[in-house]
Structure 1
Amino acid sequence: MCQHQPACPSADSADREAAKPLANHPEQGWSLLCNGVLLFEDTGELLPDGQIIAPHRPLAAVHVMKAA
């Protein structure tokens, strides 16, 4: 599917989100990547085979304050 050189990561690669966007619709909250992955604004994904990847935003850093 991808015609870039070097080729973008495939949809089953761990780094699949690094593929280049073919269509970008921020007003609707999604992008179609050249490997066929639908990437959603909330970091969820729909793979070409229909597999759903749940949103995986990084957790906010938790700062523990010590009592003085």
Structure 2
Amino acid sequence: MCAHVLPCPSADADDRVLAVPVSRHPEQGWALLCNGVVLFDDDGELLPDGQVVLTRPWTLAAVPA
């Protein structure tokens, strides 16, 4: 899929977010990488097979007593 001199990581690799962006839409908060991954500004990812990956573990803040 990737035609770069140094091939980009595949969509199922751990370092998939290091692939080259082919389309950027900062006004909408996302970018399409050359490996087919959609990378969102909130650290979420949408893989080409439809799988959603949340790279930042979200937790609720503790309420002070």
Normalising by structure 2, report the TM-score: 0.83
- Name the structure 1 match of 2:5: 5
The CA deviation at 1:6 is: 0.9
Which structure shows the bigger proportion of residues in strand conformation? Answer: 2
Task: Give per-residue Cα distances to partners, 1:5-55, cap 9 Å, x unaligned.
Answer: 110000000000000000000000000000000000001000001100014
* Moved segments of 4+, more than 6 Å: none
Identity %: 61
Distance in 1 of aligned mates of 2:51 and 2:10? 14
- Name the structure 1 match of 2:33: 33
**Which residue identity is paired with 1:41?**
D
Distance in 2 of aligned mates of 1:16 and 1:50? 15
**Which residue identity is paired with 1:37?**
V
Distance in 2 of aligned mates of 1:6 and 1:55? 25
- Name the structure 2 match of 1:17: 17
Consecutive unaligned residues of structure 1, counting only runs of 5 or more, are 58-68
Consecutive unaligned residues of structure 2, counting only runs of 5 or more, are 58-65
